[in-house]
Amino acid sequence: MHMTLLELVTRVGYVGLFLIIFAESSLFFSLLLPGNSLLFTAGVIAGQGFLNIYILVTILALAAILGDNFGYWIGSKIGPKIFSREDSRFFNKKHLVRTELFYKKYGPKAVVIARFIPVVRTFVPILAGVGLMRYRTFITYNIIGSVFWSVGVTVTGFLLGKSIPNIDAFILPLVGVIILISVIPIVLEYVKKDTANI
């Protein structure tokens, strides 16, 4: 049965949201999870009084921070195996290669920037753990990026949910806009790559 994001958020509650964002931040199958749109939807629901915004942003920030840390741990423990891994349903090596280029371009700031880019945000902590970044540097940028992302996107949804009557009727198009904004950096990267190859 198809479940909308609105239904998902109301059903899973705080614990479910924590687990989804943790997984979305650290595991390969997280490529299937709706990070940005989920935060926004949760914020809208909080704006309507169904969730406490302070509890919500706290657990979401913690989930993002801990999820990235788990990704870093994965990279530090099984890093070389990741690069030699064959493509599968939940893993595509080209994502890892593109993320490596993204990391090399932005350095430590990639941990913060990647928070807002689907797919990339999953692999950046893993690459950092492979040996590209000291843990002290990583955790600093991880906290900054995770808090900025979780609080920023969720509070945006919260403010809209609080100020616009019957906003639940507009959730689908708003989530569509969030998803569109999220994939713009990926599209631009493809365009730049294709242009460079001409």
Q: Enumerate the domain spans of the chain.
A: 5-197
Among residues 17, 15, 149, 138, which one has the least CA distance to residue 73?
138
- Give 116-174 pLDDT, tens digit per residue: 777 777 778 887 887 768 889 899 999 999 999 999 889 988 988 888 766 655 555 66
Compute the distance between CA of residue 31 and CA of residue 93 in angstroms, rounded to an integer: 13
More reliable by pLDDT, 136 or 179: 136
Give the pLDDT confidence score for residue 47 in this predicted structure.
87
In sequence order, what DSSP letters do the residues of 102-132 get, joined into one string?
HHHHHTTHHHHHGGGSTTHHHHHHHHIIIII
20 within 8 A of 12, measured Cβ to Cβ: yes
Q: What's the pTM value of the predicted model, to 2 decimals?
A: 0.75
> Residue 36: which residues within 8 A CB-CB, separation 6 or more?
116, 118, 153, 178, 179, 181, 182
64 within 8 A of 21, measured Cβ to Cβ: yes
Is 90's pLDDT higher than 60? no
More reliable by pLDDT, 180 or 146: 146
Residue with tokens 């614990």: 15
Determine the residue type at 135.
Answer: Y
- Give 2-24 pLDDT, tens digit per residue: 356 667 777 888 999 999 889 88
